[in-house]
Protein backbone atom coordinates (compact mmCIF):
# COMPACT_ATOMS: atom_id res chain seq x y z
CA UNK A 1 0.00 0.00 0.00
CA UNK A 2 1.47 3.32 -0.97
CA UNK A 3 0.71 6.22 1.30
CA UNK A 4 1.80 9.64 0.23
CA UNK A 5 0.77 12.65 2.29
CA UNK A 6 -1.08 14.11 -0.68
CA UNK A 7 -3.39 11.08 -0.86
CA UNK A 8 -3.83 10.53 2.83
CA UNK A 9 -7.27 10.84 4.42
CA UNK A 10 -7.98 12.28 7.86
CA UNK A 11 -8.00 8.79 9.37
CA UNK A 12 -4.49 8.05 8.08
CA UNK A 13 -5.61 5.64 5.37
CA UNK A 14 -5.10 6.14 1.65
CA UNK A 15 -7.12 5.77 -1.54
CA UNK A 16 -6.19 2.09 -2.03
CA UNK A 17 -8.11 1.02 1.07
CA UNK A 18 -11.80 0.11 0.84
CA UNK A 19 -13.93 -1.07 3.77
CA UNK A 20 -17.08 -2.98 2.75
CA UNK A 21 -19.45 -5.67 4.07
CA UNK A 22 -18.00 -9.19 3.95
CA UNK A 23 -19.20 -11.57 1.23
CA UNK A 24 -19.08 -15.36 0.92
CA UNK A 25 -16.22 -15.11 -1.59
CA UNK A 26 -14.07 -13.33 1.01
CA UNK A 27 -14.26 -16.08 3.60
CA UNK A 28 -11.28 -18.22 2.56
CA UNK A 29 -9.01 -15.18 2.70
CA UNK A 30 -10.54 -14.16 6.03
CA UNK A 31 -9.94 -17.63 7.49
CA UNK A 32 -6.35 -17.59 6.22
CA UNK A 33 -5.68 -14.31 8.04
CA UNK A 34 -7.45 -15.65 11.13
CA UNK A 35 -5.20 -18.73 11.15
CA UNK A 36 -2.09 -16.57 10.85
CA UNK A 37 -3.25 -14.26 13.63
CA UNK A 38 -4.55 -16.43 16.47
CA UNK A 39 -3.50 -19.57 18.32
CA UNK A 40 -7.19 -20.53 18.70
CA UNK A 41 -8.62 -19.37 15.36
CA UNK A 42 -12.33 -19.27 14.51
CA UNK A 43 -13.29 -21.97 11.99
CA UNK A 44 -14.86 -21.14 8.60
CA UNK A 45 -18.39 -21.82 9.86
CA UNK A 46 -18.09 -19.21 12.58
CA UNK A 47 -17.49 -16.52 9.95
CA UNK A 48 -20.13 -17.98 7.64
CA UNK A 49 -22.77 -17.45 10.37
CA UNK A 50 -22.03 -13.72 10.46
CA UNK A 51 -22.44 -13.12 6.71
CA UNK A 52 -25.14 -10.48 6.24
CA UNK A 53 -24.43 -8.97 9.67
CA UNK A 54 -23.77 -5.24 9.04
CA UNK A 55 -20.82 -5.28 11.43
CA UNK A 56 -18.95 -8.00 9.52
CA UNK A 57 -16.64 -5.88 7.38
CA UNK A 58 -13.54 -6.53 5.29
CA UNK A 59 -10.71 -4.20 4.33
CA UNK A 60 -9.60 -4.51 0.71
CA UNK A 61 -6.18 -3.23 -0.36
CA UNK A 62 -5.04 -3.60 -3.97
CA UNK A 63 -7.96 -6.00 -4.62
CA UNK A 64 -6.88 -8.31 -1.79
CA UNK A 65 -8.47 -8.91 1.61
CA UNK A 66 -6.15 -7.16 4.07
CA UNK A 67 -8.22 -7.61 7.23
CA UNK A 68 -11.69 -7.94 8.74
CA UNK A 69 -13.80 -7.17 11.76
CA UNK A 70 -16.77 -9.10 13.11
CA UNK A 71 -19.14 -7.07 15.27
CA UNK A 72 -22.85 -6.99 16.04
CA UNK A 73 -25.56 -5.46 18.19
CA UNK A 74 -27.76 -7.50 20.54
CA UNK A 75 -30.54 -6.40 22.90
CA UNK A 76 -30.30 -7.14 26.60
CA UNK A 77 -32.70 -5.74 29.22
CA UNK A 78 -33.66 -2.93 26.88
CA UNK A 79 -30.07 -1.98 26.14
CA UNK A 80 -28.50 -2.25 22.70
CA UNK A 81 -25.09 -3.80 23.22
CA UNK A 82 -22.46 -3.52 20.51
CA UNK A 83 -19.78 -6.21 20.56
CA UNK A 84 -16.54 -6.47 18.62
CA UNK A 85 -15.99 -10.21 18.42
CA UNK A 86 -12.97 -10.52 16.16
CA UNK A 87 -10.53 -8.24 14.32
CA UNK A 88 -7.33 -9.07 12.46
CA UNK A 89 -5.14 -7.66 9.74
CA UNK A 90 -2.88 -9.69 7.45
CA UNK A 91 0.64 -9.76 8.97
CA UNK A 92 2.07 -8.01 5.88
CA UNK A 93 -0.49 -5.20 6.14
CA UNK A 94 -0.21 -4.30 9.81
CA UNK A 95 0.79 -0.89 11.16
CA UNK A 96 -0.58 0.86 8.06
CA UNK A 97 -3.91 2.01 9.47
CA UNK A 98 -6.02 -0.93 8.27
CA UNK A 99 -7.06 -2.01 11.79
CA UNK A 100 -7.94 1.59 12.69
CA UNK A 101 -10.04 1.95 9.55
CA UNK A 102 -11.92 -1.29 10.31
CA UNK A 103 -12.58 -0.33 13.92
CA UNK A 104 -13.64 3.17 12.97
CA UNK A 105 -16.17 1.87 10.42
CA UNK A 106 -17.44 -0.80 12.78
CA UNK A 107 -18.12 1.81 15.50
CA UNK A 108 -20.05 3.89 12.96
CA UNK A 109 -22.07 0.87 11.80
CA UNK A 110 -22.90 -0.26 15.35
CA UNK A 111 -23.87 3.30 16.32
CA UNK A 112 -26.10 3.53 13.24
CA UNK A 113 -27.79 0.29 14.35
CA UNK A 114 -28.61 1.77 17.73
CA UNK A 115 -25.79 0.49 19.96
CA UNK A 116 -25.60 2.31 23.32
CA UNK A 117 -22.13 0.94 24.01
CA UNK A 118 -19.52 -1.37 22.48
CA UNK A 119 -17.72 -4.10 24.36
CA UNK A 120 -14.76 -6.28 23.44
CA UNK A 121 -12.42 -8.78 25.03
CA UNK A 122 -8.65 -8.62 24.58
CA UNK A 123 -5.83 -10.80 25.84
CA UNK A 124 -4.04 -9.20 28.74
CA UNK A 125 -0.71 -9.56 26.85
CA UNK A 126 -1.93 -8.01 23.57
CA UNK A 127 -0.43 -4.55 24.00
CA UNK A 128 -0.83 -3.54 20.34
CA UNK A 129 -4.55 -4.27 20.30
CA UNK A 130 -5.09 -2.61 23.70
CA UNK A 131 -3.34 0.51 22.42
CA UNK A 132 -5.54 0.53 19.31
CA UNK A 133 -8.71 0.21 21.40
CA UNK A 134 -7.64 2.96 23.80
CA UNK A 135 -7.10 5.27 20.83
CA UNK A 136 -10.74 4.68 19.94
CA UNK A 137 -12.06 5.50 23.40
CA UNK A 138 -12.36 1.98 24.83
CA UNK A 139 -11.62 1.73 28.53
CA UNK A 140 -10.79 -1.38 30.55
CA UNK A 141 -13.63 -2.20 32.95
CA UNK A 142 -12.63 -5.60 34.33
CA UNK A 143 -10.46 -8.71 34.08
CA UNK A 144 -11.80 -12.19 33.41
CA UNK A 145 -9.25 -14.63 34.86
CA UNK A 146 -8.48 -17.64 32.64
CA UNK A 147 -10.88 -16.53 29.85
CA UNK A 148 -8.72 -18.02 27.08
CA UNK A 149 -7.99 -21.73 26.62
CA UNK A 150 -4.33 -21.30 27.53
CA UNK A 151 -5.37 -19.79 30.85
CA UNK A 152 -4.65 -16.19 29.91
CA UNK A 153 -6.85 -13.45 31.38
CA UNK A 154 -9.12 -11.33 29.21
CA UNK A 155 -9.54 -7.63 29.72
CA UNK A 156 -13.03 -6.37 28.95
CA UNK A 157 -12.98 -2.93 27.35
CA UNK A 158 -16.03 -0.76 26.73
CA UNK A 159 -16.79 2.41 24.84
CA UNK A 160 -20.02 4.30 25.52
CA UNK A 161 -21.72 5.74 22.45
CA UNK A 162 -24.38 7.96 24.02
C1 LIG B 1 -4.45 -5.51 16.37
C2 LIG B 1 -4.45 -5.33 14.83
C3 LIG B 1 -5.82 -5.68 14.28
C4 LIG B 1 -4.14 -3.85 14.53
O5 LIG B 1 -4.25 -3.66 13.13
P6 LIG B 1 -3.25 -2.69 12.37
O7 LIG B 1 -3.74 -2.52 10.99
O8 LIG B 1 -1.87 -3.15 12.56
O9 LIG B 1 -3.48 -1.35 13.22
P10 LIG B 1 -3.15 0.13 12.77
O11 LIG B 1 -2.07 0.16 11.76
O12 LIG B 1 -4.44 0.80 12.42
O13 LIG B 1 -2.59 0.71 14.12
C14 LIG B 1 -3.41 1.40 15.00
C15 LIG B 1 -2.80 1.52 16.36
O16 LIG B 1 -2.74 0.26 16.96
C17 LIG B 1 -1.62 0.19 17.82
N18 LIG B 1 -0.84 -0.95 17.40
C19 LIG B 1 -1.11 -1.80 16.40
N20 LIG B 1 -0.18 -2.78 16.35
C21 LIG B 1 0.69 -2.54 17.35
C22 LIG B 1 1.85 -3.20 17.83
N23 LIG B 1 2.31 -4.31 17.27
N24 LIG B 1 2.48 -2.68 18.89
C25 LIG B 1 2.04 -1.55 19.48
N26 LIG B 1 0.93 -0.88 19.06
C27 LIG B 1 0.27 -1.37 18.02
C28 LIG B 1 -0.90 1.46 17.71
O29 LIG B 1 -1.33 2.26 18.79
C30 LIG B 1 -1.38 2.04 16.40
O31 LIG B 1 -1.40 3.40 16.46
P32 LIG B 1 -0.22 4.28 15.78
O33 LIG B 1 -0.27 3.96 14.32
O34 LIG B 1 -0.63 5.65 16.13
O35 LIG B 1 1.03 3.80 16.44
C36 LIG B 1 -3.33 -6.19 14.16
O37 LIG B 1 -2.10 -5.92 14.78
C38 LIG B 1 -3.61 -7.69 14.21
O39 LIG B 1 -4.26 -8.25 13.32
N40 LIG B 1 -3.09 -8.37 15.25
C41 LIG B 1 -3.28 -9.82 15.39
C42 LIG B 1 -4.70 -10.15 15.74
C43 LIG B 1 -5.14 -9.48 17.02
O44 LIG B 1 -4.41 -9.43 17.99
N45 LIG B 1 -6.39 -8.98 17.03
C46 LIG B 1 -6.97 -8.31 18.18
C47 LIG B 1 -7.60 -9.34 19.06
S48 LIG B 1 -8.39 -8.58 20.46
Domain-by-domain residue ranges, the chain? Answer: 17-119
Cβ of 128 less than 6 Å from ligand 1: yes
pLDDT tens digits, 117-127:
999 999 999 99
d(CA 35, CA 51): 19
- CA 58 to chain centroid, in Å, comes to 9
| Three-class SS of the chain | CCCCCCCCCCCCCCCCEEEEECCHHHHHHHHHHHHHHCCCCCCHHHHHHCCCCCCEEEEEECCEEEEEEEEEEEEECCEEEEEEEEEEECHHHCCCCHHHHHHHHHHHHHHHCCCCEEEEEEECCCHHHHHHHHHCCCEEEEEECCCCCCCCCEEEEEEECC
Distance 95 CA to ligand 1 centre (A): 6
The alpha carbon of 19 and the centre of ligand 1 are apart by a number of angstroms equal to 17
Which residues, listed in sequence order, are joined to residue 117 by a DSSP beta bridge?
81, 160
Task: Give me ligand 1 centre to Cα 114, in Å.
Answer: 27
Closest ligand 1 atom number to CA of residue 93: 7
pTM: 0.91
Note the pLDDT of residue 105: 98
Q: Is the CB of 119 under 6 A from ligand 1?
A: no
pLDDT tens digits, the chain, 162 residues: what are they?
A: 443 333 455 555 455 899 999 999 999 999 999 999 999 999 999 999 999 999 999 999 999 999 999 999 999 999 999 999 999 999 999 999 999 999 999 999 999 999 999 999 999 999 999 999 999 999 999 999 999 999 999 999 999 997
Give the pLDDT confidence score for residue 155 in this predicted structure.
98
Instruction: Judge if the beta carbon of residue 88 lies within 6 A of ligand 1.
Output: yes
Distance from the CA of 128 to the center of ligand 1, in angstroms? 5
The domain made up of 17-119 has a fold known as Aminopeptidase (3.40.630)
Is residue 91 within 6 Å of ligand 1 at its C-beta? Answer: no
d(CA 77, ligand 1 centre) in Å: 33
Amino acid sequence: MTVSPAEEHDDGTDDDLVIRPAEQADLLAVVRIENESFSQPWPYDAFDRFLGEPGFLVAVVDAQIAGYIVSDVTTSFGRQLGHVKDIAVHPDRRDMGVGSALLSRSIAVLAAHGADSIKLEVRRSNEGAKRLYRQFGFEPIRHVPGYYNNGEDAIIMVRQLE
